[in-house]
């Protein structure tokens, strides 16, 4: 019995590892299309010494950053199995509850990291697909003018099919990417056989020697070396879908060796034929295989782009759930997998920006000048948040935790500072995108805090309310459910209703939806009910959801009935405040943020749709709020 179960667990592990290859490693797996070419694009002479040095830098970057930092250390920091920048931030907050200043710092850098991720989400589809289609310039130079139209068409189709969901398309991801990595390895081995001395680059001496010899120019090429490790964060971000072991298993046993073999194969080709630098990836293959390789490369880059786009949807939903971002229309594209979501506003915005990028930069080499700054910025944030978790939750010794921080922060800062020199030639673009998003998120958070403070100042306790209205209002049969953000006191919408309509339902339920720092909350702990008033006619209901769950009020009310609350959800009336926000002259909100917050607040999607409230049972009451 134990033998069968063990065999089954191994089969499950293998299945999940195959799935991870199709989703997790698309970005880093398509880097061989352009990474090595861009390192030598800076004018380094192509000879054996320099090729070995560059290969050593790439192989040790993959080892230190992807393997050691992410696969071994950061992936241990899972938030109940979930990963990614938002999950890492939520986990760091759990260990800093008694330190408000540290919590504010964690939220700030966490949102900065999430904003930089969006900058990366724009460039990855553009550079990946463009670099694949550029193979036409090698295969058929006469078709070079069709590279941009084909790239735009492929990317346009990719964004358009997002609304259909990626479940069906995802089924072909794993076989295609498995074949892709196998082909990377085979092409690499074929060329290594002709120049086996290239394997000496595994010795870190060649990396150090190159940096010392080139000096300032060696520092500059680190901005191109980073192209080989873009997508490293995906190992951590997609952990919730596949688990820690399958991703590690896939990386160590298949993906990592395939990448190394391909880079070394490209290096071997350059040592024998320096002129192959025009596109060393495609020139690895024999002439008869170039068209099939072009098709496969395009498919692989589409898959890599798909993973990044899906990641942007996922991060957006998590930010909305935690209250860091205005509510948007979030659609579920799969009845089986709750992680598959589609955010129309994000999709069309990404598509527009990607098109602008492709048509403005027009080549993968030009785009490479904009790539890297956002990725390395996110890596720095990951390192800092992981250090906080190591200290606060894991309780590592001071010496060990500082060693972790100093080692990986040094590597991250080296990459970041080298990439910062790309800012004038295109690196400014992801920074502008990240800055705009960061200002939007921080403005939303500040406005929400002022809104909460406004509600707290005008808070009325249920006991005080009962004394004021005792015997003065007519009671009507039925149940009134008041939706409110506040966790305490009587909501403004209830006071507003009593003031204008002068009637009180026989049963009042004040409903608050709370998003926790955990990814999921099971149904057994989702509902908390308290009663108030002498006749116990007031109920305070709190619904708890994880940041990867969507609130469903209809389902939650069924849970309330099971908990003993006598209510018929089909006949209850829902009262929701339609708030109109304005600002005082002396408002704590800076003037330049006021218009932005009003725009965000009044254009956020309706609570009725977002929380799945029966629309035919809703009463909206206008409330004016002056902050």
Higher pLDDT, 473 or 183: 183
* Weakest mean pLDDT among 165-169, 373-377, 528-532, 577-581: 165-169
Stretch (H or E) spanning 292: helix 290-321
The two structure tokens encoding residue 144: 């070079």
Crossing angle of helices 256-272 and 48-61, rounded to 10°: 170
pLDDT digits (tens, 9 = 90+) for 255-308: 999 999 999 999 999 999 999 888 899 999 898 888 999 999 988 888 888 878
Strand partners, 618: 574
What pTM value is reported for the model? 0.84
Strands 341-342 and 331-332: antiparallel
Instruction: Provide DSSP, 367-433.
Output: HHTTSSHHHHHHHHHHHHHHHHHHHHTS---HHHHHHHHHHHHHHHHHHHHHHHTTGGGTTHHHHHH
pLDDT-derived band at 6, boundaries 50, 70, 90 = very low
- Burial of 471 per CB tally in 10 Å (0-12, 13-18, 19+): exposed
Q: Write out pLDDT tens, residues 291-303.
A: 999 999 988 888 8
Residue 133, helix vs strand vs coil:
helix
Beta-carbon contacts of 359 under 8 Å, excluding residues fewer than 6 positions away, are 148, 152
CA 616 to chain centre: 35
Question: Measured between alpha carbons, how far is residue 224 from residues 199, 416, 445 in Å?
Answer: 21, 11, 36
Q: Which pair of structure tokens corresponds to residue 4?
A: 């069968």
Please state, in angstroms and rounded to a whole number, the distance separating the CA atoms of residues 386 and 65.
14
pLDDT digits (tens, 9 = 90+) for 8-60: 477 878 888 888 888 788 888 989 988 998 888 877 888 899 999 999 999 99
How far is Cα 39 from Cα 30, in angstroms, rounded to an integer? Answer: 16
For the segment 110-127, the average pLDDT, to the nearest whole number, is 87
Domains of the chain (ranges plus CATH)? 15-426 (1.20.1740), 454-626 (no CATH)
Contact 63, 305 (CB under 8 A): no
For residues 108-138, one letter each, b for 16 or more C-beta atoms within 10 angstroms of the residue's C-beta and e for the rest, the string is: ebbbbbbbbbbbbbbbbbbbbbbbbbbbbbb
**How many angstroms separate the CA atoms of 415 and 411, rounded?**
6
Alpha carbons 440 and 592: distance in angstroms, whole number: 12
In sequence order, the 6+-apart residues with CB closer than 8 A to the CB of 249 are 13, 14, 17
Share of the chain above pLDDT 90, in %: 24
* Under 8 Å between Cβ of 463 and 532: yes
Quote the CA–CA distance of 245 and 266 in Å, as a whole number: 31
* pLDDT recorded at residue 166: 56
Instruction: Name the band, by pLDDT with cuts 50, 70 and 90, for residue 581.
Output: confident
* DSSP states along 11-49: HHHHHHHHHHHHHTTHHHHTGGGTHHHHHHTT----SHH
How far apart CA 370 and CA 423 sit, in angstroms, is 7
Calpha distance 484→491 (Å, rounded)? 6
pLDDT in tens, 89-104: 888 888 778 788 888 8
φ/ψ of residue 134, rounded to 5: -60, -15
**CA gyration radius, the chain:** 28
CA distance 308 to 349: 14
Scan for tokens 């070079």, then name that residue: 144
CA 308 remoteness from chain centre: 8
């Amino acid at each position: 019995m134990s033998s069968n179960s063990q065999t089954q667990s191994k089969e499950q592990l293998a299945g999940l590892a195959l799935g991870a290859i199709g989703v997790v490693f698309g970005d880093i797996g398509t880097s061989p299309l352009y990474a090595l070419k861009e390192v030598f694009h800076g004018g380094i002479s192509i000879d054996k010494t320099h090729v070995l040095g560059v290969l050593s830098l790439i192989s040790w970057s993959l080892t230190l950053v992807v393997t050691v930092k992410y696969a071994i250390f950061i992936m241990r920091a899972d938030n109940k199995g979930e990963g990614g920048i938002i999950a890492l931030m939520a986990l760091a907050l759990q260990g800093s509850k008694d330190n408000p200043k540290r919590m504010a710092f964690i939220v700030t850098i966490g949102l900065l990291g999430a904003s930089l991720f969006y900058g990366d989400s724009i460039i990855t589809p553009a550079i990946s697909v463009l670099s694949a289609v550029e193979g036409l310039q090698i295969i058929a130079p006469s078709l070079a003018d069709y590279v941009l139209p084909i790239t735009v068409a492929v990317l346009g189709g990719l964004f358009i099919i997002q609304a259909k969901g990626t479940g069906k398309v995802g089924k072909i991801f794993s076989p295609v990417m498995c074949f892709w990595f196998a082909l990377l390895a085979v092409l690499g081995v074929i060329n290594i056989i002709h120049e086996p001395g290239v394997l000496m680059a595994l010795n870190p001496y060649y990396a150090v020697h190159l940096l010392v010899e080139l000096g300032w120019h060696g520092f500059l090429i680190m901005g191109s070396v980073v192209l080989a490790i873009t997508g490293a964060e995906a190992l951590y971000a997609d952990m919730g879908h596949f688990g820690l072991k399958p991703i590690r298993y896939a990386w160590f046993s298949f993906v990592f060796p395939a990448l190394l073999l391909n880079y070394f194969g490209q290096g071997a080709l350059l040592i024998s034929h320096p002129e192959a630098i025009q596109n060393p990836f495609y020139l690895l293959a024999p002439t008869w295989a170039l068209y099939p390789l072009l098709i496969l490369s395009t498919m692989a880059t589409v898959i890599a782009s798909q993973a990044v786009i899906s990641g942007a949807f996922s991060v957006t939903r998590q930010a909305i759930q935690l209250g860091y971002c205005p509510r948007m229309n979030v659609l579920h594209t799969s009845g089986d997998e709750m992680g598959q979501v589609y955010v129309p506003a994000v999709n069309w915005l990404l598509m527009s920006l990607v098109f602008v990028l492709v048509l403005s930069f027009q080549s993968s080499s030009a785009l490479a000048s904009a790539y890297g700054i956002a990725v390395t910025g996110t890596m720095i944030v990951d390192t800092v948040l992981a250090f906080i978790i190591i200290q606060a939750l894991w309780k590592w010794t001071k010496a060990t935790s500082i060693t972790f921080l100093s080692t990986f922060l040094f590597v991250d800062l080296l990459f970041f500072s080298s990439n910062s020199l790309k800012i004038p030639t295109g690196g400014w673009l992801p920074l502008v995108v990240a800055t705009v998003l960061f200002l939007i998120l921080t403005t939303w958070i500040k406005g929400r805090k002022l809104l909460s403070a406004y509600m707290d100042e005008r808070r009325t306790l249920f006991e005080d309310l009962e004394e004021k209205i005792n015997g003065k209002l007519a009671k009507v049969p039925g149940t009134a459910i008041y939706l409110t953000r506040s966790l305490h006191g009587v909501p403004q919408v209830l006071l507003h209703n009593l003031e204008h309509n002068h009637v009180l339902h026989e049963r009042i339920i004040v409903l608050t939806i709370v998003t926790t720092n955990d990814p999921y909350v099971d149904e057994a702990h989702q509902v908390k009910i308290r009663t108030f008033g002498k006749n116990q006619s007031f109920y305070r209901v709190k619904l708890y959801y994880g940041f990867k769950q969507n609130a469903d009020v209809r389902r939650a009310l069924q849970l309330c009935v099971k908990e003993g609350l006598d209510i018929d959800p089909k006949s209850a009336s829902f009262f929701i405040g339609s708030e109109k926000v304005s600002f005082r002259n002396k408002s704590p909100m800076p003037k330049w943020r006021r218009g932005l917050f009003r725009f965000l607040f009044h254009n956020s999607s309706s609570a009725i749709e977002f929380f799945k409230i029966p629309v035919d049972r809703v009463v909206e009451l206008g409330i004016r709020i002056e902050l």
